[in-house]
Amino acid sequence: MTTTESSIVGQRTSDTREASFVLLNPVGMDSGCWQFLGYPAAKPFHYPGHAERPREPGWTFEQIADEVVARIPGPMDLLGISMGGAIAAHVLVRHPGRVRSAIIACSAGIVEGLDLQARLQLADTRAEPARQGGMQAVIETNLPRWFTPHALRTGHPGIDYTRATLRSMDPEAWVDIWLAQARTQPLPHAQLRAVTVPVTLVAGMHDTASGVAAMNELHELLPNSRMEIVSAPHMIHLERPESLAAAIERHRTWQRTGQRVDAILSSSGL
């Protein structure tokens, strides 16, 4: 999908001389989901069944975490949103020597909690719309969870992108995603407490899919973290890219020293 100059929030260049800025997208999306953010030198990564990558039934987040470090050389700064945030957490735990810093936004289901049977039941619920009504049913079910009523009512280029991208996806690939999440082992508290690199957690004030509590739990577990609550829905990078871009720049300033910040930054204007 092409964009106009006015649709891009600035043109920022990641510091690729020091670390690759790796973008880990939410469920069902591709590299086009970053078009409004304005980091053209960043490196997006596609999961099985997304974009032109074929399905790989049975894939897991652990597998993708290993692929990320195998395919992208050198140190990395990670940005993961929603499912991408969970994958970023697995990269942090499995390959700590490869990550310089990370931003995890609007993500849940990372920390140990539900057992396998409960996770499989949840996956079945999330996959059911695609099984019964194809990707149109997925669109109708998820857009109200991902975007604000105002954006849905008034029209928004991020929503147009989401509809078009989901419509082109194989429904079975959508089912694969939720089975992948169920089969992935949630991260134990001890492993998250062992992560020492700077991590910023970004929660959306209007995120009805993941909420603020999941990000706060990660903030409590990750010893070298800070947290922001910004005025944004679940798909922050699509509806409020300027809010996410500002959070990225604040993270970059902070991560140079990377000392834990207990207080949560919250502003309806960010």
Q: What is the per-residue pLDDT for 62?
A: 98
Tell me the C-alpha to C-alpha distance, in Å, between residue 128 and each of 63, 138, 147, 253.
24, 9, 21, 43
Angstrom distance (rounded) from CA 86 to CA 7? 28
Q: What's the pLDDT score for residue 113?
A: 77
User: How do the pLDDT tens digits run along the chain, 270 residues long?
Assistant: 323 222 333 333 344 458 999 999 999 999 999 999 999 999 999 999 999 999 999 999 999 999 999 999 999 999 999 999 999 999 999 999 999 999 999 999 898 777 889 999 989 998 999 999 999 999 999 999 999 999 999 989 999 999 999 999 999 999 999 999 999 999 999 999 999 999 999 999 999 999 999 999 999 999 999 999 999 999 999 999 999 999 999 999 999 988 999 999 997 655
Task: Give the start-to-end residue ranges of the domains of the chain.
Answer: 5-112+185-267, 116-179
Looking at residue 69, its pLDDT comes to: 98
pLDDT at 269: 53
The β-bridge partners of 142 are none
Question: Which of the listed CATH numbers 3.40.50.1820, 3.50.50.60, 3.40.50.720, 3.30.230.70 matches domain 5-112+185-267?
Answer: 3.40.50.1820
Q: How far is CA 261 from the centre of its chain?
A: 22
Q: Determine the pLDDT at residue 151.
A: 96
How many other CB atoms are there within 10 angstroms of residue 202's CB atom?
29
Predicted pLDDT of residue 48: 98
* HSE-up (13 A, CA, CB side) for residue 81: 30
pLDDT of residue 111: 85
Q: What is the model's pLDDT at position 114? A: 79
Question: Does the pTM of the predicted model rise above 0.85?
Answer: yes
Contact 146, 235 (CB under 8 A): yes
| pLDDT value, residue 85 | 98
pLDDT per residue over 119-153, tens digit each? 999 899 989 999 999 999 999 999 999 999 999 99
